[in-house]
Amino acid sequence: MSASPTSPPPPPSSTAIPTSSSPTTLPLRSIPGSYGWPILGAISDRLDYSWFQGPATFFRSRIEKNKSTVFRTNVPPSFPLFTGVDPRVIAVLDCKSSSYLFDMDLVEKKNVLVGDFMPSVDYTGGIRPCAYLDTAEPDHTKVKGYAIDILKRSSKTWVTELVSSMDSLCSTIDTEIAKSGKASYIFPLQRSLFEFLSKAIIGADPKAQPEIAESGYSMIDRWLALQLMPIVPITAFQPLPEILLHSFRYPFWLVSGDYKKLTEFIDKHGNEAIELGMNEFGLSRNECINNLLFILGFNAFGGFSVFLPGLISTVVSDKTGLQEKLRAEVREKIGSSSLNFESVSRLELIPSVIYETLRMNPPVPNAYARARKDFLLKSHDSEFEVKKGELLCCYYQVAMEDPKIFDEPDKFKPDRFVGEKGKELLNYLYWSNGRQTSKPSVSNKQCAAADLVTLSGSLILAYLFQRYDDITGDSGSITALKKATNN
């Protein structure tokens, strides 16, 4: 994928999607690819995906093999022990075909957050959280509306709590650097994230319960790991991961104690958020508590725990002069003024770095949707018949390498989203289960916190370059810091 585009085509619209009787200038093709022999085909694809190739190479190689960004394949988990899971999908791996995953008239999202596999509802207190609900289900409007309202209310304290958590995190790193010349930031970052998000979203301070303050973030790590382990690719130490980690579902009782402590923490200290759901959205107290924990732990903490280390690593390991440009923008447009969403909205390069990080390393790698009815799906060069019930799969990292849209798509370009052309490209940035230019609502499945994520990323980078002149490090550690001369 290396062709250079001129100007991107207009974003696809559901109103422009043809029916079988509509004229089209694209050739109608049978969907290429194969599911292989029963059982054996799924196992072979699973081993390629999780072991021999890894997901990105798995999908890229099949694009080349099939001469198409739309094709049939299998994705994990699969046989022998996942007998209730159908691994067969239609991969959609360009900006045009993958946009159909957002058209709720054509596709549904019931229980397909991570494919045909769904962790036991024991992990979510016996309920199906919003992420597993389809927009046509009555509960979706209530639960998605609740999530949007919670996040809207949290904006009153979001910046204050985020800056406070960054103060604490950076002080910890400063001390460790001074002591040993190197500081790992992954677990300190997670600890800070958990405290910040608990306060901002739930309205509950983990310090009110010492065990939660000390270990709440690791409880969520374990809870997330057991739900997602069957589908997380691990290329190291094979074949042990395939035998021990990818071959069966993990029982909830392994983390039931952690989950009980987290829900009791929310029940005791998050009463205002709970009553909002009960009084304004008609949810039971149990539904509120478990949905709040899913929003806090799965959506917010889990997402930021993937996104922020990638962002930090990109910036601190850069050798091209990016830090100097970021620092100059912060000092020129914000200076030493207090940080807020209005001040970071004046920045251009920093938000572009955030968007480019999300394009190349999306926090949620895969998206799925099931055809609600028969329809015709378009890629850039062909049209395909999709049958009702077939499962579509997008691997965002590869889809966002679309050479018809992005110039030098396999290259990290910090200023890709700067200027008018850059703003146009935001129509094709899909990391949030929707376009960057779209807004989450009760009628779609876009991440309710899509704007908060990008604004928070911008605020974090602005904070770092108010505090430091230079930061050196890698994917897990900071090795050198130079404080800003005015600090």
In this structure, what token pair is assigned to residue 249? 């579902």
pLDDT tens sequence across 136-175: 999 999 999 999 999 999 998 999 999 999 999 999 999 9
* pLDDT exceeds cutoff 70 at 12: no
* Cis peptide bond upstream of 77, omega within 30: yes
* pLDDT exceeds cutoff 70 at 17: no
Closest CA relative to residue 90, chosen from 115, 54, 53, 65? 115
Confidence band (pLDDT; 50, 70, 90) for 11? low
The Cα 296–Cα 123 span in angstroms is 14
pLDDT value for 236: 85
Question: Residue type at 186?
Answer: I
Contact by Cβ (8 Å): 297, 262: yes
Closest CA relative to residue 106, chosen from 449, 399, 385? 385
* pLDDT exceeds cutoff 80 at 302: yes
Strand order in the sheet with 28-29: 28-29, 383-386, 375-378
Averaged over 360-379, what is the pLDDT? Answer: 97
pLDDT value for 268: 98
CA 201 from centre of chain: 18
Confidence band (pLDDT; 50, 70, 90) for 13? very low
383-386 and 28-29: which strand pairing?
Answer: parallel
Closest CA relative to residue 319, chosen from 414, 178, 398? 414
pLDDT tens sequence across 427-465: 999 999 999 999 999 999 999 999 999 999 999 999 999
pLDDT value for 217: 98
Confidence band (pLDDT; 50, 70, 90) for 234? confident
In this structure, what token pair is assigned to residue 192? 């800070």
Please give the sequence-ordered ranges of beta strands (E in DSSP) within 39-178, or none if there are none.
70-74, 88-92, 107-108
Averaged over 408-412, what is the pLDDT? Answer: 97
Closest CA relative to residue 248, chosen from 83, 74, 43? 83
Window from 10-19, 124-133, 332-341, 429-438 with minimum mean pLDDT: 10-19
Window from 76-80, 134-138, 303-307, 377-381 with minimum mean pLDDT: 76-80
Q: Which residues contact 71 (CB under 8 A, 6 or more apart)?
A: 31, 32, 33, 62, 63, 90, 91
pLDDT value for 293: 98
In this structure, what token pair is assigned to residue 48? 């390629």
**H/E element holding 394?**
strand 391-395
